Chain A
Amino acid sequence: MRDHWISKFAIAESVAVLTAIWGVPSLIAQTALTAQTGQQGSGGERTKAGQPARPMPPIPRLSDGTPSLGWVDPAYKGVWKPVRLRDYADLLVERKEEGLPFQPWAKALYEYRIKTEQKDDPESLCLPPGGTLATVNRTASPWEFLQMPEQKRIIRVFEGASHMWQVIYMDGRPHPQEAYDLPTWMGHSIGHWEGDTLVVDTVGFNEGHWLSTMGAPRTNLHHLIERFTRTNYNTLRYEATIDDPGAYTRPFKIGWNIAWGYGQELVEIVCTENNQYPNLFPDEDTLLKQLQRKP
C-alpha cells in the first residue's frame, strides 16, 4: 500500500514540479498538475503516507461577501506558487495563430534580447518586476493577497525579487494624473469585483523593466487589466489584457492557472544583499561569439 502511494505521488509531484519549472505544460503534465491541484475536486493537499487526503475546502468568503484569495482557516494556509512561463505567445488565449502583435521596433528589440540571452534583464539587477511579470515571474512568486475590505484595499505581497508589494485601491478612485507624471515600477492599481473575479486596472508603469522575462518590451503607455478568479481552493485563474500602444499594434490577452501552495509561508529575500551579476555580466561580443550567433 505504501509502495504504491509513494510511486504514484512521486510521479504526480515530479511532473507537476517539472511543469511549473519548465513552463507550458504538455497534456500529460497538465493532467498531473490537475490531479495535484485538485481541479477536479480530487483532494485538497499532499498527504503523509497512509493517511487519506483531506477534501479540498470550499473558497472562504470575507465579511463583505467577496471571496478570499488568501486563507481564513490556518489549517489551509498557503501562498500562490511560482510558475515559470516565459513566452507570452504560448500564453495567448485569443488569436494565438497571430503571435504577439509587436510594432517593428519592439520586435527588433525583443529579438535582440533573445539573441543576447536576456543579459540586460533589469531583474538581474534586482529591480522590481511589476505588471504581468509579478504573476508570471518565477522569482517574484510565491505571493499572497492581503484583503482589507474595511479599508477598501488589497495589498499583494511578494516573497522574491526585490522585497516588493503592490497596493490595489478598491475604493472607487480613478487613476490620478500623478500616476502618469511619475511612473513607477509597479504602476498605480485600482480594482473592483465582477462577481467573484477581482479585476485590477493598472497604469503608470515606468520603462525600467520588461513586459515578459523573455524580453517583450514595455513602455509607459502600458495599460494592464488583470482578472483573478479563484476557481476552486487550489486554483487561481489569471487572465491579463495587455494594452501598450507604445510597443504593440493592438491589445492582446494572455492567461494561465496558478496553484495554491498548502502550508507555505513567505520568507525574506533581499535580492540586493549579495548580487554578483555585475561581476558576471557578459561582454556582448564574447557572448555572441561563444553562442555562435551573428552580432
Chain B
Amino acid sequence: MRKKLAAMVVFAAAALNTVPLSAHHSFAAEFDENKKITIKGTLTKVELTNPHGWLYLNVKDKDGNVENWAVETGAPLALLRQGGDIKKLLATGTEIIVDGWLARNGSKTINGRSIKFADGREILAGSSNNAAP
C-alpha cells in the first residue's frame, strides 16, 4: 500500500514537474473555489490547445434534459503525460466524470481538477487552482 501510494505520488509529481505551464491567469478572477462541482457526461468536443485545453461534454440533468458543459484543463501535455492511452480516451463519445470549480460568470464552465474514466481511473486535469491539490 505504501509502495503504491509512493509510486502514485512520484508519478503525479513527475507529471506536474515536467509539464509546460502555458498561461498564468489568476484562477480566482475566473473561478470560485468555494463552488466545487462534479459533472458526468459524454465528450462532444476535445480541444488540446494552449493556453488551456477544453473538454466539452453533454450532461443530463435530473429531468433528462441535456446541457453542454465546458471544462478548462491545464496544458495538453499535462493530460497526455499521465498515460499512453489518454489521447485515445479523450475523444468524442467517451464518458467522463469531472470535478472542479464553477466559473464566476454563471456559464456552464468548470475549471477541472480531475477527470475520471469509466474504468475508474482518474487523472489530474492540470488545474490552475494552485491552492488545491
Show the binding face of A for B, using Cβ within 8 Å. Answer: 3, 6-7, 9-10, 13-14, 16-17, 20-22, 81-82, 84, 116-119, 121, 123-124, 126, 129, 137-139, 141-142, 159-161, 213, 261, 264, 267, 269-271, 273-277, 279-283, 286-287, 290-291
- Contact A3 B3, beta carbon cutoff 8 Å: yes
On whether A269 and B22 interact (CB within 8 A), knowing A275-B51, A282-B104, A290-B104, the answer reads yes
Cα–Cα distance between A271 and B9 once the two chains are bound (Å): 29
On whether A159 and B105 interact (CB within 8 A), knowing A6-B6, A6-B10, A7-B2, the answer reads no
Query: Looking at the complex, which of B26-34, B36-44, B59-67, B117-125 is the stretch in contact with chain A?
Result: B26-34
Show the binding face of B for A, using Cβ within 8 Å. Answer: 2-3, 6-7, 9-10, 13-14, 16-18, 20-26, 28-30, 32, 47, 49-52, 54, 72, 75, 77, 103-105, 107, 109, 130
| 8 closest cross-chain pairs (CB), A and B | A274-B49, A119-B29, A118-B26, A124-B25, A117-B28, A117-B29, A280-B30, A10-B6
Q: Is the interface of B mostly helix, strand, loop or mixed?
A: mixed
Cα–Cα distance between A275 and B50 once the two chains are bound (Å): 7
- What's the minimum C-beta distance from B40 to chain A, rounded to whole angstroms? 23
- What's the minimum C-beta distance from A120 to chain B, rounded to whole angstroms? 9
Cα–Cα distance between A290 and B21 once the two chains are bound (Å): 28
- Contact A275 B17, beta carbon cutoff 8 Å: no
List residues of chain B with CB within 8 A of the CB of A22.
Answer: 130
- Contact A282 B51, beta carbon cutoff 8 Å: no
Name the CB-closest residue of A to B28. Answer: A117
Cα–Cα distance between A217 and B77 once the two chains are bound (Å): 32
List residues of chain A with CB within 8 A of the CB of B16.
Answer: 17, 21
- CB pairs A–B below 8 angstroms (10 shown): A17-B17, A84-B130, A124-B23, A139-B51, A160-B20, A261-B17, A267-B20, A271-B51, A275-B23, A282-B29
List residues of chain A with CB within 8 A of the CB of B13.
Answer: 10, 13-14, 17
Name the CB-closest residue of A to B77. Answer: A267
Contact of B24 among A14, A117, A137 (CB under 8 A): A137
